[in-house]
Amino acid sequence: MVCEISQSFFFDAAHTLDRAIETAASRRIHGHTYNAEVFLTGQPDPATGMVTDLGLVRRELALLREQLDHHLLDEVPGLGPTTLENLCQFIFSKLLPALPTVTSVRVWRVSIGDGCRVTRPL
């Protein structure tokens, strides 16, 4: 049986964005509270009963959160334009080396109701 586990976290960050609509507001430095959830999928280990130890997941998320929380996202190396799509892909790529069972990352902003999810095919 395949199981999917998840762990969520949040971070507050500022950014700018060059876009064709809502141009003036987007180009000014502004901030959001971002929520993120990481999904890990696999067969539970027979000895531990776990797909991945959630303590390990929380440790890796804490390290990643330090790179994002209370930062100007425009200055985060490797992120690119600060879209939800790029945030999802950035989080995914940063976690994959330490958490190879990561299959999906979701990022959303409750205050304005938008979000994105990137998923790796199984």
The domain that holds 47 is classified in CATH as 3.30.479.10
Main-chain phi, psi angles of 65, to 5 degrees:
-60, -35
pLDDT confidence band for 122 (50 / 70 / 90): low
Question: In the chain, what percentage of residues exceed pLDDT 70?
Answer: 99
What 47-51 contacts at long range (C-beta under 8 Å, 24+ apart), as own/partner pairs, is 50/5, 51/3, 51/4, 51/5, 51/101
Q: What is the mean pLDDT of residues 40-50?
A: 96
For range 42-63, the mean pLDDT: 97
How many domains does the chain divide into? 1
Host domain of residue 68: 3-119
Question: Does pTM surpass 0.75?
Answer: yes
Residue 10 confidence (pLDDT) above 80: yes
Backbone φ and ψ of 100, nearest 5°: -65, -10
Q: Please tell me the least confidently modeled range out of 15-24, 50-59, 73-82.
A: 15-24
DSSP classification of residue 43: P
Query: Which pLDDT tens digit goes with each residue over 68-86?
Result: 999 999 999 999 999 999 9
